[in-house]
Structure 1
Amino acid sequence: MHDEGFLFQVFIYLVAAVASVPIAKRLGLGSVLGYLIAGVIIGPFVLKFVGGEDEDVMHFAEFGVVMMLFLVGLELQPSLLWRLRLPILGLGGLQVLVTSLVLAAIGFVAGLPWQTALAVGLILAQSSTAIVLQTLNEKGLTKTQAGQSAFSVLLFQDIAVIPILALLPLLAAPAITAIGAVADRVLLVAAEQSGGASAGLPAWQQALLVIGTVSGIILGGRFLTRPLFRFIATTQQREIFTATALLLVVGIALAMQQVGLSPALGTFVAGVVLAENEYRHELESDIEPFKGLLLGLFFISVGASIDFNLLMQQPLLILCLVLVLAIVKFAVLFGLGRVFRLEMSQSLLFGCALAQGGEFGFVLFSFATQNKVLTEDVTGPLVVVVALSMALTPLIMIINDRLIQPRFVAAEIEAEADEIDDGETPVIIAGFGRFGQIVGRLLIANGFEATVLDHSPTQIELLRRFGFKVFYGDASRLDLLHAAGARHARLFVVAIDDRDRSLHVVDLVRKHFPHLKILARAIDRRHAYEFIRRGVEVVQRETFDSALEMGEAALRLLGTRAYKAHRSARIFKTHDEQALWEMATLEDDTRFARGQQLRQDLERVLRADDRGMTHDLDGAWDTTALQKEV
């Protein structure tokens, strides 16, 4: 029956994940919020499918956090981690310290004993590593200032769980004045919590065991994993490599648990050690699916753990506590962001991302209750507060994305443009990223001056250091186009990354400067269709030529003669470009049928060319013309 109950729980969790996430993504809510809502629905207060006393899946799912930190470690080379030491220790340390003290002061003013208030402050200072990193990763924000700062704070918080776990019993114990006694007490508490090999050992032996375990992980990861993975790779059995990767993660987590340290911290250290290993990408690809699935189950478990009975009994108190927690953490994080010179928009994102309780709060509240630091009257509502704050984080991030950040983007776009006083130039280039730079460098190298417009201050500053004459401004502004000399220019190059903005710029130029010949960079084929319909003279798909060159190289490597491979590529290019302009005028329902016909024509032309045929095939494509083109 136990096995049947476990399998039923797994089935329910998987059904909830499969049903909820696609709907949430379609509604623009993100996968994390979808998981949390699914947990509420299948939990004990709605459908009652999960949430009983025996929650094997919850403990299993918590391992997703461990795997996540291992993968995070794999992305961080030791040199990068060393460069982050200031934000980790400075920003992370100040966040935990200031947030703990502010929340403790609020609790003390509210009537809690100072020991209880301090314990609550330390626990609520934690944020959710799982939810924050997953949300930032989904939104592509991990490499931003706010994303890097959030990671630093979360890493310090995960490390801080160890001393918090050990120090909490001291708040309930009689005053201990001897420093040596305090140190012994800290180590003993950590060992007792692990329930592992270090339990009951003297403090100095526990310390040696901890140091030895961590050193073993570092040395083993540096010197033993390469020959091990090399040996496993020779088997050519991918499932064995996957099993080895899982064995590595589980083994390290178990070893850290046995010595009283955080499994997540141990696997993170192991990931950092393996960051320069040549098998790093293989490890990532093998563990990523397990991490994603287990994290999803963990988020569902958090949603199912929200005690709606307690929420309905004390709705005003709990909602006020959630609001106070979010406001305090946001204010502290925003202030620290400004102190550490984050931009205003990044400081707001930083505060929104971390303004919640963390998953370690559940563990710490349970531990504090067992050690009589906190009573159940205190921990009961606070556990609900932590769960609700975690569930609200995706909503807060959506509000930030849709209401807060656009104001800063708009302010950047509407900022006063640079004065353009270089005189008239024959070419204007809108957008000077990886595509526009190549066009501009070729023109400038051949003696043609160009006025370059870009709306990214960071990009402009970088390019000016390399000696380019780039001006800040949004090319969709008519007054800026006049200032750039569009009335007297001959060519207008649209190399903007954004699909909608590039089309808007073309419409503007076509309307007000019809004499300009437009050359446009298309992101894909459909984007190219839009340009062609607008009468753009030259449309270049950004990846077409490079992909064609790779295809030609592939033909040569497969044994095709170099001349034949080059000729086939040129025929393919001519055929595809003609097809592009023809199909741009067709509707979707007829475009697919015509596309199949054109593909068949291309195959026949290439076969005919291979046999030396040069006559017209069905009047569709004349290979004689193609030969001349080649």
Structure 2
Amino acid sequence: MSAIAKETLAPVLNAEAQGYYIFIIVFLLASAVVVPIFQRYKVSSVLGFLLIGVLLGPDVMGRLATAWPVLDAFSVMRSHTVHQLAELGVVFLLFTIGLELTFERLKSMRRLVFGLGALQVVLCALALTGLFLLIGRSFISSVALGMALALSSTAVVIPVLADRKALKTASGRSVFAVLLAQDIAVAPILITVVMLAGGAAGDGRSLSGLLALIPALIGIGILVIGGRWLLRPLFNTVAFSRSRELFMAACLLCVLVAGQISVMAGLSMGLGAFVAGVLLAETEYRREIENMVEPFKGLLLGLFFVTVGARLEVAAVISQPMLVFGLAAVLIAIKMAVIYPVARLFGLINRSAIETAAVLGPAGEFAFVIIDQAIGHKVLNAEFGQTVILASIISLFCIPFLAAGAGRLSKALAKNGEAPTSVAPDVVSEAAKVIVVGFGRVGELVTDMLKLHNIDYMVVDINPQVTQRARAQHIEAWYGDASAAEFLHSLGIERARAVVVTASNPAFTDEVVKAVRAMRADVHIIARARDAAHAQRLYQMGATDAVPETIEASLQLAENTLIDLGVPMGLVLASVHERRDVFRKMFGIRKPEAPVRPKRSLEEVAAAAVEKAAGT
């Protein structure tokens, strides 16, 4: 590039770069300041991002930029780069959804996914097609609009339900199943739009649209077969490096490559990421992967909501408010009227069916893609298509309010004694009664005893070889750092009864005990200690029981020696217990708030031990 060209383009490039910086600052300001304010007043964070998008749109920031060019973040919002980056938020969301599902769980949900979900898409598409035919649109454009608006918003509904802690309810699981069916239906709908365009133009595009199914099926096959062969070895290799940076790079590589393969096959990027998530859900790395991608998912989803809000042209809405708001209201009403009886047909109780219909009533983000494609293929008039997009965005803004209203109505109905439904399969993460940290020789012995007494447990270890060995024994084992609060949360620490720390590293044991106690004040923590001093430190950190390995090994040796020498077992057990108490007093080991027991003689302890042994 010549010097003259550089001098000519420099102001343009500097202005564009400045626009990006302003946009990034505003977006981060929204994430760090504005959205927490919304959450503080129990308003959905999704709504906060959408409103920030409106402020960055053509009617606020776009108008201010005419007077102050430095504020021209709106031009950046319209750039292809920002929209591509924002769409990654939906991709990461579908990836994390896939991580929560194994093929066995998908099989257990098939009635809701391919029954309730598929029937909802078909019936809503037919009802909305009839609506557009009634208002004078052509048959082909009506079909395209009906299919586009039959879909709901995975990106908005899932975070809204998560904010309300409703994902694990019967209605939440049903909504999840329907959204999964809709995500699967996106690719066939896009292909159908191409076929409709070809049929209308008579240029053979309908045949090309039909042939597009072949590479789509090949792409899914490559993802499933290749993923089963390659994903586990990839994460095994990265896990051995013990580098969180490399592990994060592997997670991002997996999402982006799977998404790109899906795009090359003519499918959506999100569907490819979802398939990759399902494949990884069967591995021991699933929990750690969830923690790695969560920050990316949160920020990119926020960026997606901002770009959606920026598409809302306030001036266009004001110019024809009756049409835009009326279309949004009719859209929501028709879909709710269709979804409610279908949900009841599939066994949901009244209040669950209402909640399901309320959040699935508005349009979804894929409506923008499908309508834009329909406009591009001349299937739909551009002006009317933009009006429908505006109505769809208005309906998206309604989701937090519809969810809140349905929740209040659900509570009111619950007071009438309506029994909960049991048709929606539970898709929440596994939760065991006991979490065993470390699966060495000590941890393996602990799990053997838990299994002997039929107590559910899971194993956690930072060594990939150890987790593989545990999985080979058909034990639920997860790779990850048990001292990280996010990882403990993903394991279901809120529902665990006890945590047993068998790791040989005292510093790591300390970190785990502190992390668990910070999250749960009532859970039992039994930890392996190096010596008496370490045991005392663990008690001070909040451990329920600390077992010094040096003392216990000595007592075990003494117990076996006495038994081999012919000393009665009752007396041996009593003396071991007595000696253990002596050690505790000698080294100053005191369990906080331990109950005071009456002191008994050695003979009394021996008699009690023999009586207990005889009773069992």
TM-score by length of 2: 0.65
- Of 225, 240, 250, 2:231 maps to 225
Please report how far the alpha carbon of residue 98 of structure 1 lies from its aligned counterpart in structure 2 after TM superposition: 0.9
Give 5+ residue unaligned stretches, structure 1.
191-205, 416-433, 436-541, 574-607, 615-622
- The 5-angstrom pairing of residues 123-272 of structure 1 reads 123-174=148-199, 184-187=207-210, 207=214, 209-272=215-278
Cα pair 1:17 1:38 within 8 Å, conserved: no
Cα pair 1:213 1:256 within 8 Å, conserved: yes
| Distance 1:303-1:20 versus aligned 2 partners, 3 A rule | same
1:407 aligns with 2:379: no
- The 5-angstrom pairing of residues 61-76 of structure 1 reads 61-76=86-101
Name the amino acid aligned to 2:374: A
SS, match of residue 224 in structure 1? helix
- Of 276, 280, 284, 1:274 maps to 280
- Of 8, 11, 19, 2:22 maps to 8
Please report how far the alpha carbon of residue 55 of structure 1 lies from its aligned counterpart in structure 2 after TM superposition: 4.9
- What's the CA shift string for 1:533-569, capped at 9, x where partnerless? xxxxxxxxx976643xx2xx33x52322899799989
- Of 327, 330, 336, 1:324 maps to 330
| Distance 1:572-1:173 versus aligned 2 partners, 3 A rule | closer
Cα pair 2:49 2:305 within 8 Å, conserved: yes
Cα pair 2:535 2:589 within 8 Å, conserved: no
Cα pair 1:9 1:57 within 8 Å, conserved: no
RMSD: 3.7
The size of the alignment, in residue pairs, is 442
Please report how far the alpha carbon of residue 612 of structure 1 lies from its aligned counterpart in structure 2 after TM superposition: 7.1
| Distance 1:235-1:91 versus aligned 2 partners, 3 A rule | same
1:81 aligns with 2:106: yes
Cα pair 2:196 2:206 within 8 Å, conserved: no
- Of 13, 22, 27, 2:36 maps to 22
1:103 aligns with 2:112: no
Per the alignment, residue 427 of structure 1 pairs with none
Please report how far the alpha carbon of residue 350 of structure 1 lies from its aligned counterpart in structure 2 after TM superposition: 0.2
Per the alignment, residue 529 of structure 2 pairs with 557
| Distance 1:570-1:86 versus aligned 2 partners, 3 A rule | closer
Cα pair 2:358 2:403 within 8 Å, conserved: yes
SS, match of residue 62 in structure 1? helix
SS, match of residue 268 in structure 1? helix
Please report how far the alpha carbon of residue 395 of structure 1 lies from its aligned counterpart in structure 2 after TM superposition: 1.2
1:57 aligns with 2:29: no
- What's the CA shift string for 1:297-324, capped at 9, x where partnerless? 1111111211111101000111111110
Per the alignment, residue 32 of structure 1 pairs with 46
Per the alignment, residue 293 of structure 1 pairs with 299
Provide the rounded CA distance (Å) in 2 between the counterparts of 1:186 and 1:231. 41
Cα pair 1:17 1:297 within 8 Å, conserved: no
Name the amino acid aligned to 2:158: L
Provide the rounded CA distance (Å) in 2 between the counterparts of 1:27 and 1:568. 37
Please report how far the alpha carbon of residue 400 of structure 1 lies from its aligned counterpart in structure 2 after TM superposition: 1.8
Give 5+ residue unaligned stretches, structure 2.
1-12, 63-71, 421-431, 434-518, 546-583, 601-616
Cα pair 2:199 2:205 within 8 Å, conserved: no
Per the alignment, residue 144 of structure 2 pairs with 119
Please report how far the alpha carbon of residue 103 of structure 1 lies from its aligned counterpart in structure 2 after TM superposition: 1.1
Please report how far the alpha carbon of residue 212 of structure 1 lies from its aligned counterpart in structure 2 after TM superposition: 3.6
1:342 aligns with 2:356: no
| Distance 1:334-1:230 versus aligned 2 partners, 3 A rule | same
| Distance 1:389-1:609 versus aligned 2 partners, 3 A rule | same
- What's the CA shift string for 1:418-474, capped at 9, x where partnerless? xxxxxxxxxxxxxxxx99xxxxxxxxxxxxxxxxxxxxxxxxxxxxxxxxxxxxxxx
Cα pair 1:6 1:56 within 8 Å, conserved: no
SS, match of residue 140 in structure 1? coil
Name the amino acid aligned to 2:385: T
1:381 aligns with 2:361: no
Provide the rounded CA distance (Å) in 2 between the counterparts of 1:63 and 1:269. 15
Cα pair 1:358 1:390 within 8 Å, conserved: yes
| Distance 1:268-1:314 versus aligned 2 partners, 3 A rule | same
Name the amino acid aligned to 2:355: L
| Distance 1:47-1:122 versus aligned 2 partners, 3 A rule | same
- What's the CA shift string for 1:371-407, capped at 9, x where partnerless? 11111221121010011101111111122223x1221
Task: Answer with 324-333 or 111-120: which moved more.
Answer: 111-120
SS, match of residue 51 in structure 1? helix
Task: Answer with 167-176 or 134-143: which moved more.
Answer: 167-176
- What's the CA shift string for 1:36-76, capped at 9, x where partnerless? 12222232222335433425323201111011111111110
Cα pair 1:70 1:268 within 8 Å, conserved: yes
| Distance 1:177-1:398 versus aligned 2 partners, 3 A rule | same
TM-score by length of 1: 0.64
| Distance 1:277-1:104 versus aligned 2 partners, 3 A rule | same
Name the amino acid aligned to 2:529: L
